[in-house]
Amino acid sequence: MNLTKYFNLNYLKENFKKSRGILLLITIIIPLLTLFSILFINKPASYTKIVELMEISWVNMFGMYVIPIAISFILFGYVYKKTSVDFINSMPINRKTIFITNTIGGILLITLIQILTAVTLLLSSIFIKEIMIFTGMIIDVFIIMWIAYLFMFFVTNLAMTLSGTFLTQIALTMIILFIIPFCLSTFDLLRNQKIIEEEYTESTLQNSENNNNITIMENIDNKEYTLPFDLIWNTDLSFSNTRNAKMLVLGIVYFCLGLYLFQKRKMENAEESFSKVKVHLFVKALTVFPLLVLVNLASESPNKFLILLIIIYYFVYDYIVRRKVKFKYSILGLIITLAVSQGIIVGIENYYPINTSYRDNMEIAREDVDEVSLNFDDNSYYLREQPENDYYMNNKELIDLIFDASERSYEFREEIKSIDVIDSVNSMTSLYGNFKCKDGRILRFYAEILEEDEEKFLDILAQDENFMKSIKDKYMEKSVITFNGHVMLDIGEKIELEGKNAINNMTLKEYYTLYSKESLNGYYPLYFNYYKNHNLVSLYVPINISNEVLKTIADNENEFIDQNFYVGENSSGNRFNIGIMAGPLGYDRNDVEFSNFSGNFFYTLDLMEEFINENKNEKIDPSQKCYAIQITGINSDYNNERIFFTNKTEEIDSIIRKEMSFYQETYYYDF
Amino acid sequence: MIKISNLSKSFENKKVLENLNCNIKTNSIYGFVGANGAGKSTLLRIINDVFKADSGTVEIDGKSIENNQELKQKLVFVPDDLYFFPNYTLNEMAKFYNSMYKNFDMEYLKKLAETLKLDMNSKIQNFSKGMKRQCALICAVCTNADYMFFDETFDGVDPVIRGLLKKIIAKQMEKKETTIIMTSHNLRELEDICDNLALIYKGGILFESEVNTLKTNMFKVQVSLKEDFDKDTFKDLEILNFKKVGSVATIIIKEDKEKAIEKLQNLNPIILDVLPVTLEEMFVYEMEVLGYEFNQVF
């Protein structure tokens, strides 16, 4: 087999050589900017934090929209200039070889860029002590971005085969990338808006028809398109096998299509958008359509000014992409474009089927449910970020209880609706989980139940040993321990061991009580962190903190406060808040004396500032009573949470009393 | 041999070539002449697989050029508007040609560059238009391709260099069997080098002939007879053009020169002068025979 028919190394070398400067820049810019972005994360460099996917890949993410287009232009840019077309295409290398050679060259460059970026991340993780990046995350970033860059490269190459100018290539790239997912997503949006409008008049869908407190939050079978679109539309950068597979398959299809079209390409097309006016007008119409949809979505009656802008764009477009079109054809094209676009929008708004699919997806009856998985949740922000429990139970009794309990809570709510709202909320608790339906749907749900039904759930769940095992298994992974977002370098392993042992010995009820019942006592934000199944898992550790651990944490935190807490620097618009995070042993928020204290110092902020300044180098004794005081926004450079520990609980109590006195005054004056 | 059959090409409803047929013999210099926009450059681009024809075929040595990499090794094309990679020197361009053409002769290129006083290590973009053309031509010659295509080759080149380039081309043909195909909108540029000439007009070949045949079979005489005479007096001769001013007629004759003069001698002329005919005049008269006015075509 003669490989030179498909790949010509000499040609590739020369193609690289002629643009070596810009290629070098393209190759190093992403790794370099990624490094800068990481260094930027760590200002001020004071502690080690676990870095999230977005933090290490946003540069790469932006690069995805630029670098593949630039590579495509460097390798195939000759097609946009008549002189270079004559020169290159008369050389003893056929078009198929040019296309395949340049494509392989682009793939190699993209691979090199991603390898360099991954190595940069790896070395940063090793040498920059302030950050910790999981190796699995680096590998995921490499895979996500490598596939996305390749996909973008294939799309831009396909656009190149049809375009006569670089700007047309960009316009066509956008159309190929976005037009279909944009239309489908917009149509869904329009449809959902219609449903919401209808529901608004009918009361909520679930309550009006099912009389229970189960809310279907989303259908897990969400539509995923390609990363360049999903990132803009849903700001979704997560690792998804479906999306990666889509991009790979589409990439291969686009490559084959590009190869075919490149061989058929009309090279005389250079320096003009398209060889045919009809094609030019059609592509222009496709660029106008999304703009019209967005204008239509923006308001009920389309803004005349925006419409005028679109019409101006319609005519300016010809000059931008350098294509002469007779005025009468332009006008005719504009009328047709506006008419067809408006027709489609009106058609979607009025006739797009909303009959069954969406409603069916969001409705649920107990007969539909085949299996259920449950996550414990105490409504705190962090815990909602917990990974889903993927242990599904085919337990009729449990499924019935979810529906019965939510119906009871619904009835209860209806009964006390006009009596005491606060009490009704306090007597509710919530369940999160997934329903696997008999028809294959997986629905994420949220159900409100009465606290009195909690025990019944725990009784049923306790009978299923695998349920507790599924919870415990999550804690058994090799983890990095963080406190308040900071990696515990010194005592991490000890906490991990303590935590694992404690959880291993817990019963379901013990776990649930510690996990779900809010208590200030011993409630410190300690987390097990690891990277598994392409997700950064952050698990709250429901254990009582030991004195040894508390001592280390407190010393670390107070040392940071000592160096960074400056009263006065916050006046430059960088406000901070001070609140009680955890009180002394035995302290309970429901304590009679402090039962009305909200936990935050609004009126006594100055006193707290003064107190912290005076005591910021305090070394605490964990065996004595101590307060953990949460401070948000310490100085102008640092806008994150830190915790200040103090044994001077009586002084804090006195400030709390002072704070509460303002509450009473306010209460008094308000009423 | 290059065989072009029924070649047609349009650019958005504008026909540039229409059913063009042509055969170009090996080891000859073939010239295409025609006005700007006649389709000469498009023809060369199609032959070199730069453009695709709408219909018709181009065969070189019996094979289609389309996507034929091996065959393209035998072809080199120097277009009208030259292209060099940005910031490349002649040396770097030569290396590029060397990497693309199997038979590229780097030593010969260096020799030619020296002869033409072209600095191998200067950036080509800083060269004059004529020097750039020399660079392109010597790079093409050194590929040792069997078929060399030069579009408006001598455009912008001074007469001295033009002579040198023609010599280089002639020498290359001496060195190995090479077919040169040239185009020009100026007939005079090609007349002293081409073996064959074809006139392209409105996308087709209007007229094609070997230059030698034209030169030996067409001549001009000035003649005067004792008696009064008109065109019919010379009805035995194949006359392309007849003009009489006073008693002297200027006649363009297209037939064997010796036989024609013998016929004229038999009329006992008072004056009989045989005058040379330029190639341009030959084309003018041939066009007139075909019913075209030369000014229309050029």
| Each residue's pLDDT tens digit, B128-145 | 888 999 999 999 999 999
Whether the Cβ atoms of residue A372 and residue A392 lie closer than 8 Å to each other: yes
Instruction: Tell me how far apart the alpha carbons of residues A567 and A561 are, in angstroms, rounded to a whole number.
Output: 11
Beta-ladder partners of A641: A632
* Core vs surface per residue A109-123: b (16+ CB within 10 A) or e: bbeebbebbbebbee
- In this structure, is residue B63 part of a structural domain? yes
Residue A484: left (phi > 0), alpha (psi -120 to 50), or beta? Answer: left
Q: A82 CB contacts (<8 Å, ≥6 apart)?
A: A270, A271, B81
User: So what's the pLDDT on residue B71?
Assistant: 93
The distance of B142 to chain A (nearest Cα, Å) reads 14
Residue B53: closest C-alpha in chain A: A266
| Angle at CA of residue A446, ends A440 and A448, nearest 5° | 135
Taking CB atoms and an 8 Å limit, are B79 and A87 in contact across chains? yes
Q: Could you tell me the sign of the dihedral formed by the alpha carbons of A329, A330, A331, A336, in that order? A: positive
Taking CB atoms and an 8 Å limit, are B100 and A268 in contact across chains? no
- In this structure, is residue B53 part of a structural domain? yes
Taking CB atoms and an 8 Å limit, are B83 and A89 in contact across chains? no
Residues B229, B181 share a domain: no
* DSSP conformation class of A368: G
- Identify the residue among A2, A23, A87 best suited for mutation to test binding to B, counting B beta carbons within 10 A and taking the highest: A87
Three-state SS at A418: coil
Residues B140, B277 share a domain: no
The distance of B43 to chain A (nearest Cα, Å) reads 12
Nearest to B50 among A89, A93, A275 (CB): A89
Residues B188, B241 share a domain: no
B83 contact A CB<8A: yes
User: So what's the pLDDT on residue B242?
Assistant: 86
| Angle at CA of residue B248, ends B243 and B252, nearest 5° | 40
Taking CB atoms and an 8 Å limit, are B51 and A92 in contact across chains? no
| pLDDT, mean over chain B | 87
Q: pLDDT: is B287 or B10 the higher one?
A: B10
The distance of A257 to chain B (nearest Cα, Å) reads 17
Query: How many A-B residue pairs are in contact by the CB < 8 A criterion?
Result: 78
- In this structure, is residue B208 part of a structural domain? no
Q: Determine how β-strand B75-78 pairs with β-strand A641-646.
A: unpaired
**Where is the domain boundary, B202, B234, B269?**
B202
A84 contact B CB<8A: yes
Residues B42, B8 share a domain: yes
Whether the Cβ atoms of residue A152 and residue A68 lie closer than 8 Å to each other: yes
CATH of the domain at B253: 3.30.70
Backbone angles phi, psi at A442, to 5 degrees: -120, 120
- In this structure, is residue B218 part of a structural domain? yes
A21 contact B CB<8A: no
B50 contact A CB<8A: yes
A440 contact B CB<8A: no
Helix ranges (H only) for A265-356 are: 277-298, 304-320, 327-351
Distance in Å from the first CA to the final CA of chain B = 28
Taking CB atoms and an 8 Å limit, are B99 and A13 in contact across chains? yes
Whether the Cβ atoms of residue B88 and residue A18 lie closer than 8 Å to each other: yes
- Amino acid symbol at A150: L
The distance of A170 to chain B (nearest Cα, Å) reads 23
Local mean pLDDT, 10-residue blocks, chain A (671 residues): 79 91 95 91 65 90 96 94 94 94 97 97 90 93 96 96 90 91 78 57 42 64 81 82 94 96 89 80 85 73 76 82 77 85 76 51 76 69 52 90 86 68 60 84 80 86 88 90 80 86 86 64 73 86 76 81 58 52 55 68 81 84 79 56 81 85 54 29
**Where is the domain boundary, B174, B202, B230?**
B202
Residue B51: closest C-alpha in chain A: A267
Residues B217, B110 share a domain: no
Taking CB atoms and an 8 Å limit, are A10 and B99 in contact across chains? yes
What are the chain B neighbours of A260 within 8 Å (beta carbons)?
none
B77 contact A CB<8A: yes
Q: pLDDT: is A73 or B161 the higher one?
A: A73
Residues B107, B248 share a domain: no
Count the neighbouring beta carbons within 10 Å of the beta carbon of residue A588.
Answer: 12
Burial group, residue A311, by CB count within 10 angstroms (0-12, 13-18, 19+): middle
- In this structure, is residue B265 part of a structural domain? yes
Burial group, residue A388, by CB count within 10 angstroms (0-12, 13-18, 19+): middle
Instruction: Tell me how far apart the alpha carbons of residues B261 and B270 are, in angstroms, rounded to a whole number.
Output: 14
Residues B74, B175 share a domain: yes
Residue A264: closest C-alpha in chain B: B52
Taking CB atoms and an 8 Å limit, are A95 and B67 in contact across chains? yes
Residues B248, B166 share a domain: no
Query: Which A residues in the span 480-539 are in contact with B, Cβ-Cβ below 8 Å?
Result: none
Residue B151: closest C-alpha in chain A: A86
User: So what's the pLDDT on residue A205?
Assistant: 37
Interface ipTM: 0.87
- Identify the residue among B74, B96, B104, B133 best suited for mutation to test binding to A, counting A beta carbons within 10 A and taking the highest: B96
B13 contact A CB<8A: no
Backbone angles phi, psi at A468, to 5 degrees: -65, -35
Residues B150, B13 share a domain: yes
- In this structure, is residue B14 part of a structural domain? yes
The distance of A293 to chain B (nearest Cα, Å) reads 33
Residues B150, B45 share a domain: yes
| Angle at CA of residue B277, ends B273 and B278, nearest 5° | 150
Question: Which strands, in side-by-side order, build the sheet including B63-64?
Answer: B14-24, B2-11, B55-60, B63-64
Taking CB atoms and an 8 Å limit, are B12 and A81 in contact across chains? no
HEC assignment per residue over A115-138: HHHHHHHHHHHHHCCCEECCHHHH
Q: Could you tell me the sign of the dihedral formed by the alpha carbons of A606, A611, A616, A621, in that order? A: negative
Backbone angles phi, psi at B226, to 5 degrees: -65, -45
Taking CB atoms and an 8 Å limit, are A277 and B12 in contact across chains? yes
User: So what's the pLDDT on residue A310?
Assistant: 83
Taking CB atoms and an 8 Å limit, are B51 and A83 in contact across chains? no
Nearest to B72 among A87, A92, A96 (CB): A92
What are the chain A neighbours of B52 within 8 Å (beta carbons)?
264, 266-267
A275 contact B CB<8A: yes
- In this structure, is residue B207 part of a structural domain? no
User: So what's the pLDDT on residue A601?
Assistant: 77
B104 contact A CB<8A: no
* DSSP conformation class of A546: P
- Of the candidates A408, A397, A428, A453, the one whose C-alpha atom is nearest the C-alpha of residue A212 is A408
Taking CB atoms and an 8 Å limit, are B77 and A11 in contact across chains? no
B49 contact A CB<8A: yes
Nearest to A90 among B11, B48, B70 (CB): B48
Instruction: Tell me how far apart the alpha carbons of residues A151 and A176 are, in angstroms, rounded to a whole number.
Output: 11
Question: A181-185, A194-198, B271-275, B292-296 — which one is most confidently predicted on average?
Answer: B271-275
- Identify the residue among A86, A96, A262, A324 best suited for mutation to test binding to B, counting B beta carbons within 10 A and taking the highest: A86
B11 contact A CB<8A: yes
Instruction: Tell me how far apart the alpha carbons of residues A238 and A233 are, in angstroms, rounded to a whole number.
Output: 13
Instruction: Tell me how far apart the alpha carbons of residues A12 and B56 are, in angstroms, rounded to a whole number.
Output: 33
User: So what's the pLDDT on residue A210?
Assistant: 53
Q: Determine how β-strand B179-184 pairs with β-strand B196-201.
A: unpaired
**Where is the domain boundary, B180, B202, B224?**
B202
User: So what's the pLDDT on residue A90?
Assistant: 94
CATH of the domain at B101: 3.40.50.300
Taking CB atoms and an 8 Å limit, are B99 and A94 in contact across chains? no
- In this structure, is residue B138 part of a structural domain? yes
Tokens representing B179 are 């077919």
Instruction: Tell me how far apart the alpha carbons of residues B73 and B62 are, in angstroms, rounded to a whole number.
Output: 15
Taking CB atoms and an 8 Å limit, are B49 and A92 in contact across chains? no
Tokens representing B61 are 């040595």
User: So what's the pLDDT on residue A201?
Assistant: 43
- Residue B276: is its pLDDT beyond 60? yes
Backbone angles phi, psi at A592, to 5 degrees: -55, -45
Whether the Cβ atoms of residue A442 and residue A220 lie closer than 8 Å to each other: yes
Instruction: Tell me how far apart the alpha carbons of residues A205 and A224 are, in angstroms, rounded to a whole number.
Output: 26
Taking CB atoms and an 8 Å limit, are B69 and A14 in contact across chains? no
User: So what's the pLDDT on residue A571?
Assistant: 42
B86 contact A CB<8A: yes
Residue B71: closest C-alpha in chain A: A92
Residue B256's domain spans which residues? 213-297
What are the chain A neighbours of B10 within 8 Å (beta carbons)?
none
Tokens representing B216 are 């030996």
Report the number of distinct structural domains present in chain B: 2
Residues B188, B103 share a domain: yes
Instruction: Tell me how far apart the alpha carbons of residues A383 and A506 are, in angstroms, rounded to a whole number.
Output: 19
> What percentage of residues in chain B have a pLDDT greater than 70?
96
Nearest to B69 among A84, A90, A92 (CB): A92
Interhelix angle A20-41/A53-64, nearest 10 degrees: 160
- Of the candidates A139, A85, A105, the one whose C-alpha atom is nearest the C-alpha of residue A26 is A105
Instruction: Tell me how far apart the alpha carbons of residues B297 and A278 are, in angstroms, rounded to a whole number.
Output: 33
Residue A7: closest C-alpha in chain B: B69
pTM score: 0.83
B48 contact A CB<8A: yes
Taking CB atoms and an 8 Å limit, are A89 and B86 in contact across chains? no
Q: Determine how β-strand A486-487 pairs with β-strand A480-483.
A: antiparallel
- Of the candidates A639, A518, A494, the one whose C-alpha atom is nearest the C-alpha of residue A570 is A639
**pLDDT, tens digit, 9 for 90 and up, residues B24-71:** 999 999 999 887 788 899 999 999 999 999 999 999 999 998 888 899
Question: Which strands, in side-by-side order, build the sheet including B204-210?
Answer: B75-78, B147-151, B179-184, B29-33, B196-201, B204-210
Taking CB atoms and an 8 Å limit, are B82 and A83 in contact across chains? yes
Residues B218, B198 share a domain: no
Nearest to B100 among A10, A82, A277 (CB): A10
| Angle at CA of residue B129, ends B126 and B132, nearest 5° | 70
Nearest to A275 among B12, B76, B83 (CB): B12
- Identify the residue among B13, B83, B132 best suited for mutation to test binding to A, counting A beta carbons within 10 A and taking the highest: B83
HEC assignment per residue over chain B: CEEEEEEEEEECCEEEEEEEEEEECCCCEEEEECCCCCCHHHHHHHHCCCCCCCEEEEEECCEECCCCHHHHCCEEEECCCCCCCCCCEHHHHHHHHHHHCCCCCHHHHHHHHHHCCCCCCCEHHHCCHHHHHHHHHHHHHCCCCCEEEEECCCCCCCHHHHHHHHHHHHHHHHHCCCEEEEEECCHHHHHCCCCEEEEEECCEEEEEEEHHHHHHHEEEEEEECCCCCCHHHHCCCCEEEEEEECCEEEEEEECCHHHHHHHHHCCCCCEEEEECCCHHHHHHHHHHHHCCCHHHHC
The distance of B26 to chain A (nearest Cα, Å) reads 20
Tokens representing A357 are 């699919």
Instruction: Tell me how far apart the alpha carbons of residues A247 and A148 are, in angstroms, rounded to a whole number.
Output: 7
